[in-house]
A and B are shown apart, each in its own frame.
Chain A
Amino acid sequence: MDKPALLLNNIVKAFPGVLALDGASLEIKSGEIHGLVGENGAGKSTIIKVLAGVYQADSGSIEVFGEPLKPITPATVHRAGIRFIHQELHLVPHFSVTESVFMGQEISSPAGLSKGQMRRRAEAVLKDKLGRSISGRKLVRDLTTAERKLIQIARALIDDEARVVVFDEPTAPLASGEVVALMSAIERLKNSGITIVYISHYLDEITDICERVTVFRQGQSVAVFDTVTKATGSELVTAMIGREIASLYPDSDRNPHGTGLSVKSLGDGKSFQNVSFEVGRGEIFGIAGLIGSGREELVDALYGVNKIRYGTIEKDSKPIKISSPAIAVANGIVLVPRDRRQDGLVLPMNILENISLSVLKQISSYGFLNRKRERQVAEQQTAKIDIRPSNPKTVTRFLSGGNQQKVVLARWLANDANIFILDEPTVGVDVGARVEIYQLIADLAANGASIIVSSSDPAELIGLCDRVATMTRGVLSGVRITEKLTVDRLVALTTGATQESANVT
C-alpha cells in the first residue's frame, strides 16, 4: 500500500483559555477524497491552519507522502504540493480570468508578460483539469459564483505541482444547481490522481463524494468512517454532537396567540428567496441554518439593514416597509445583533449611556438630556436584568460577554418594542449568563412580545423556541414544532443529511 498522502499525528494547539486541538490525528490516503466534519469550534479549521503553516502547533508532527514536513511554514507546505482552496474567493473583480489564475506566478520574458501563452495555459487547465471552458479574456466580475470558484481552484493547479488540495467549505457561496458542477470538477481532479481533503457543513455533499470521513469534536478526531454511504449521514451527526442538552432552558408554558409579524414571499434577489413565515404574539420563533444559508441576510433584511427586493412584511396585520433600522425601531421592531461588540454597543460608553441611547426621546426635553431621568431609566433596567457589576457607570468594554449582551437587551427593554429579533444571542456567552438571557427572552415572550431567534446552535433553538424553521441555500422551509424535534434531526435538516420537505405546523 502507498504511503498516506497526509499524516497528522497528535497535534496539540492551545490558545489563551482554549485548547483548540487536543491531540488530534488525521490520516489522508493517497488519491482519495477525504471528508472532514465537525461542529463550529470542533477544531477543523484549526487543524487546517496548522497544516497550512498559519498556526504553529504546540506539539505533534506532519508527514507528507511519508516525508516528515519540517519546518511547517506556508512556503514549505506549498513546496510539498499542498494547496488550499479558501472559503472566501479572494479574486480581483476587474482582473481577467488569465490574470487571476496566474496571480503571483505570471510568465514573462524580457519583452514583458507572455499574455497569449498564459491565456492558453489558463484555458487548458480549466478545460482539462476542471472540465469547464471559460475564456481567459473574460473579467472575473462577469463570471458566475461557480465559475469564480473554478478560477480559484485553477490558481492552485497552474504550476502542475499540486498533490493534495484542501477544500474549505467550497460550496458555501453556491446555489444548489452550481454545487453539482463543482462536485464533478472535484471528481475529475481526483481521477487525475490528486488527493482531496473536503471540509463541509453540508453532510449530503460529504456522503456524496467522500470515500472516507473523519469527525472532529472538541479538538480531537473522534471517529473515522472507512466506508461512506448515504446512510452514514445520521451516524455522522451523532458523532459530531455526542453530548446531551442540559436543562438550560426555561419552561415553555407560553400561550402564543394571534399574529405579531407576518412575512410573505420575501427576497433580496441574492441571498434568500420567497421566504414566508408568521410569528405569533408571545411566541419564540427560531430560524436554523448554516453560515451562508441566507439566515443572516434575512435577519438583516427584517431590520432594514439589508435591502428587500420583493415580498411584504406585516406587523399586527398592517403592511409596513422597513427600509432602515430607524424605521424598524419606530415600528417597534428591534434587533440584538450577532456582533454585539461591533454593532450592539458603544463600547467606550458606560452602561447608563448605552441604555439611554435608544430612549433619548423619553429622557430628554427641548433637546437637553435629563440626567436624572436617564439614571432612573437605566437603574430600572439594570435592576430588572441583573448586570454585574451593577454600577451603571461601568464602561461596557470591561463587561463580560454575557453582561454585554444583557446591556443590549436592557436597552431594548427600555424602549417600547414588541418584536425582538435576536441574532446569535449567546455566542461567546458563558453558561451562567446564558441561562439568565434565556429566562429574559422567555419573560419577554410571556409579556406578549414576538421573538425571532436566529442561531447556529441547534440545541439552543430546540430548547428555547416554540417553533423552528430551517434555512438552506436561501430557502426557508419546514416550520416545525420544537417539541417534536431532536437536535440530531435539526442538524440533519440544516445540513441536508436528510431530504424532506413536509411542513408540520
Chain B
Amino acid sequence: MSLETLSRRSSTSLSAAIGAIPLILFVGLLIYFGLNAPNFLTVTNLKLVLVQSLPVMLICIGLSAVVMAGGDDVVSGGIDLSIPATTVLCAGIMASLLSAESTGLFVASIVALLAALLVGGLNALLVTRLSMTPLLTTLAMFVAVVGVNNVVTQRKRINVDHDAINAIREPFIFGIPLGLILVALITLIAFHFLHRTKWGLNLQAVGGSRDAASISGLNVNRLFGQSFIVAAVMGFVCSYFVLARGAGSSPGVEDNLMVEMVLATFLGAAFSPRRVVTMWGAALGAVLVVAISVGFKSMGVNVFWTGLIKGSLIVVVVATAALSQRLD
C-alpha cells in the first residue's frame, strides 16, 4: 500500500516536471533573446510584443472555450482550427463592404457576424449531431472558409481606412492603444464567464468527463456546441484587430494566426496549477508565443526557418502535454 502511494506520488511529480518543460523552454528562449538580440528587452519592444499579440489573444480565448468543453485530448478532444479562417473571412467581408463606400461599419459588422455565427453553428452541428471529431471537422471548415474568403476578396489586398478601426491601434490614454484596453476588458469578461459562472464550470465539467457531466444532468451536446459559437464570435471580434493591424485585409494572415493560436493555447496549460487549458493561460501563452516570434525576427533568423521552429515547438508542447497526462 505504501509502495503504491509512493509510486503514484513519484509519477505525479514526474508528470508535473514534464508538463513544465515547454514553459522552461520558452522562458529560456526569451532569456536568450534578451541577452543576444539588440533591443529585445526594451519598453518599446515589449509594448510592440503586447500589441502584436492582441489578435492571437482573442482567438486563444475562443479556442480555450472549445478545449475546455471538449476535453484536452489532442486527438479526440475539443479543438477549433477554423477560428483563424473565421477571422479572415470576417475581415474580408468587412473590408470589401467598407471599400464599396455605400455601406457603413455597422452593416458590415452585422454581415460579418452572421457569417461567423454560420461557421460556428455548422461546426457545432457537425460535431454534436453527427459526432464527427472536432479536429477533422474544423480543419475541413478552415479550408472551406478560407476558400470562401478567397472568393469574397479575389485573394487581393483590400485597404481599409476607417476612423473607428484606425482608433484600435492609436493611443487612447497615457499612450496606451485603445486595442490593448479593449482586449483587457474582453479578457476580463471572458474570464468571468468561463471561470466564474455556473455555465463556465459546466462547460469545464463536460470537457473533464462527458459521462460525469451527463449523469449530473448537464446537457452535454448543447454546452459543447455553445463553445463553438463562442469561438466563432471571438474569431469575429479578432477581425477588427486584424484589419487595424494591417490597415485592411490581406490574404494569407490565417496561417500564422492558426500556428500561434494552437501553440499559445496548449502552452497556456503549463501556467495552470491543474495543468489544464484555461482561458487566462491561453491569453498569457499568446503573449509568450508572439514574443518568441518577435525575438526570432530581431535575431535576424530567416523567416523561412521560423515555420520549422514553430512547428517543432507545437510538437514539443503537445507531446509533453500528452506525456504528462499519461503519467498522471
* Interface residues in chain A, defined as those with a beta carbon under 8 Å from any beta carbon in chain B: 78, 86, 88, 90-95, 99-100, 103-106, 108, 112-113, 139, 141, 155, 175, 177, 269-270, 309
Which residue of chain B has its CB nearest to the CB of A144? B5
Q: Would you call B211 and A90 a contact (CB within 8 A)?
A: yes
Q: Would you call B209 and A86 a contact (CB within 8 A)?
A: no
20 A-B pairs besides A90-B215, A309-B7 with CB distance below 8 A are A86-B215, A92-B205, A92-B209, A94-B208, A94-B274, A94-B276, A95-B205, A99-B205, A103-B202, A104-B202, A104-B213, A104-B218, A106-B198, A106-B201, A108-B198, A113-B196, A141-B328, A175-B1, A177-B1, A269-B3
Total number of B residues with any Cβ neighbor in A under 8 Å: 26
| Alpha-carbon distance A85/B275, docked complex (angstroms) | 29
Which residue of chain B has its CB nearest to the CB of A100? B212
| Alpha-carbon distance A112/B195, docked complex (angstroms) | 9
Contact with A along B127-147 (1 / 0, CB 8 A): 000000000000000000000
Which residue of chain B has its CB nearest to the CB of A86? B215
Q: Would you call A103 and B205 a contact (CB within 8 A)?
A: yes
The verdict on A93 contacting B196 (CB below 8 Å), with A88-B211, A175-B1, A269-B3 known, is: no
Q: Would you call B208 and A92 a contact (CB within 8 A)?
A: yes
Q: Which residues in window 199-232 of B have CB below 8 A to A?
A: 201-202, 204-205, 208-209, 211-213, 215-218
The verdict on A112 contacting B208 (CB below 8 Å), with A86-B215, A104-B218 known, is: no
| Alpha-carbon distance A78/B275, docked complex (angstroms) | 35
| Alpha-carbon distance A488/B171, docked complex (angstroms) | 85
Q: Would you call B217 and A104 a contact (CB within 8 A)?
A: yes
Q: How far is the CB of B194 from chain A (nearest CB, A)?
A: 11
Q: Which residues in window 222-249 of B have CB below 8 A to A?
A: none
9 tightest A-B contacts by CB? A92-B208, A104-B216, A112-B196, A90-B212, A103-B216, A94-B274, A106-B198, A108-B198, A92-B209
Report chain B residues within 8 Å CB of A270: 4
Q: How far is the CB of A211 from chain B (nearest CB, A)?
A: 28
Which residue of chain B has its CB nearest to the CB of A91? B212
Q: How far is the CB of B266 from chain A (nearest CB, A)?
A: 15
The verdict on A90 contacting B202 (CB below 8 Å), with A104-B217, A112-B192, A155-B216 known, is: no
Which residue of chain B has its CB nearest to the CB of A103? B216
| Alpha-carbon distance A309/B275, docked complex (angstroms) | 27
Q: Would you call A113 and B197 a contact (CB within 8 A)?
A: yes
Report chain B residues within 8 Å CB of A90: 209, 211-212, 215
| Alpha-carbon distance A83/B197, docked complex (angstroms) | 26
Contact with A along B173-198 (1 / 0, CB 8 A): 00000000000000000001000111
Q: Would you call A106 and B202 a contact (CB within 8 A)?
A: yes
| Alpha-carbon distance A96/B177, docked complex (angstroms) | 39
Report chain B residues within 8 Å CB of A105: 216
Report chain A residues within 8 Å CB of B3: 269
What are 9 A-B contacts with C-beta separation under 8 Å? A91-B209, A95-B204, A103-B212, A103-B218, A112-B192, A112-B196, A113-B197, A113-B201, A141-B12
| Alpha-carbon distance A92/B3, docked complex (angstroms) | 25
Q: Would you call A104 and B208 a contact (CB within 8 A)?
A: no
Report chain A residues within 8 Å CB of B275: 94
| Alpha-carbon distance A88/B201, docked complex (angstroms) | 22
Q: Would you call A93 and B197 a contact (CB within 8 A)?
A: no
Report chain B residues within 8 Å CB of A94: 208, 274-276
Q: What secondary structure prevails in chain A residues at the interface with B?
A: loop
Report chain A residues within 8 Å CB of B201: 99, 103, 106, 113
| Alpha-carbon distance A105/B274, docked complex (angstroms) | 22
Q: How far is the CB of A121 from chain B (nearest CB, A)?
A: 15
| Alpha-carbon distance A93/B274, docked complex (angstroms) | 9
Q: Would you call B213 and A103 a contact (CB within 8 A)?
A: yes
Report chain B residues within 8 Å CB of A155: 216
Report chain B residues within 8 Å CB of A113: 196-198, 201
Report chain B residues within 8 Å CB of A177: 1
Q: How far is the CB of A114 from chain B (nearest CB, A)?
A: 10
| Alpha-carbon distance A195/B202, docked complex (angstroms) | 30
| Alpha-carbon distance A309/B10, docked complex (angstroms) | 14
| Alpha-carbon distance A78/B216, docked complex (angstroms) | 11
| Alpha-carbon distance A90/B215, docked complex (angstroms) | 8
Report chain A residues within 8 Å CB of B12: 141
| Alpha-carbon distance A359/B209, docked complex (angstroms) | 41
| Alpha-carbon distance A139/B328, docked complex (angstroms) | 13
| Alpha-carbon distance A93/B204, docked complex (angstroms) | 11
Q: How far is the CB of B5 from chain A (nearest CB, A)?
A: 9
Report chain A residues within 8 Å CB of B205: 92, 95, 99, 103-104
| Alpha-carbon distance A175/B4, docked complex (angstroms) | 12
| Alpha-carbon distance A131/B202, docked complex (angstroms) | 28
Report chain A residues within 8 Å CB of B204: 92, 95
Which residue of chain B has its CB nearest to the CB of A89? B212
| Alpha-carbon distance A442/B224, docked complex (angstroms) | 54
Report chain A residues within 8 Å CB of B218: 103-104
| Alpha-carbon distance A103/B208, docked complex (angstroms) | 11
Q: Which residues in window 244-264 of B have CB below 8 A to A?
A: none
Which residue of chain A has its CB nearest to the CB of B71? A92
Kindly name the residue among A78, A105, A269, A270 whose own CB sees the greatest number of chain B CB atoms within 10 A.
A269
Report chain A residues within 8 Å CB of B274: 94, 139
| Alpha-carbon distance A113/B198, docked complex (angstroms) | 6
| Alpha-carbon distance A484/B273, docked complex (angstroms) | 58
The verdict on A92 contacting B212 (CB below 8 Å), with A104-B217, A270-B4 known, is: yes
| Alpha-carbon distance A269/B208, docked complex (angstroms) | 26
Report chain B residues within 8 Å CB of A309: 7
Q: How far is the CB of B210 from chain A (nearest CB, A)?
A: 10
Q: How far is the CB of B276 from chain A (nearest CB, A)?
A: 5
Which residue of chain A has its CB nearest to the CB of B209? A92
Which residue of chain A has its CB nearest to the CB of B9? A142
Report chain B residues within 8 Å CB of A106: 198, 201-202
| Alpha-carbon distance A90/B201, docked complex (angstroms) | 16
Which residue of chain A has its CB nearest to the CB of B272? A94
| Alpha-carbon distance A100/B274, docked complex (angstroms) | 14
Which residue of chain B has its CB nearest to the CB of A104? B216
Report chain B residues within 8 Å CB of A86: 215
Q: How far is the CB of B107 from chain A (nearest CB, A)?
A: 33
| Alpha-carbon distance A103/B212, docked complex (angstroms) | 8
Which residue of chain A has its CB nearest to the CB of B4? A269
Report chain A residues within 8 Å CB of B213: 103-104
Q: How far is the CB of B279 from chain A (nearest CB, A)?
A: 14
Q: How far is the CB of A82 from chain B (nearest CB, A)?
A: 14
Report chain B residues within 8 Å CB of A108: 197-198
Which residue of chain B has its CB nearest to the CB of A90? B212
Which residue of chain B has its CB nearest to the CB of A84? B215
Which residue of chain B has its CB nearest to the CB of A74? B217
| Alpha-carbon distance A103/B214, docked complex (angstroms) | 10
| Alpha-carbon distance A86/B211, docked complex (angstroms) | 11
The verdict on A93 contacting B208 (CB below 8 Å), with A104-B218, A112-B192 known, is: yes
Report chain A residues within 8 Å CB of B217: 78, 104
| Alpha-carbon distance A139/B201, docked complex (angstroms) | 15
| Alpha-carbon distance A17/B275, docked complex (angstroms) | 48
Report chain B residues within 8 Å CB of A112: 192, 196-197
Q: How far is the CB of A384 from chain B (nearest CB, A)?
A: 42
Contact with A along B1-39 (1 / 0, CB 8 A): 101100100001000000000000000000000000000
Which residue of chain A has its CB nearest to the CB of B273? A139
| Alpha-carbon distance A128/B172, docked complex (angstroms) | 56
Report chain B residues within 8 Å CB of A92: 204-205, 208-209, 212
Report chain B residues within 8 Å CB of A91: 209, 212
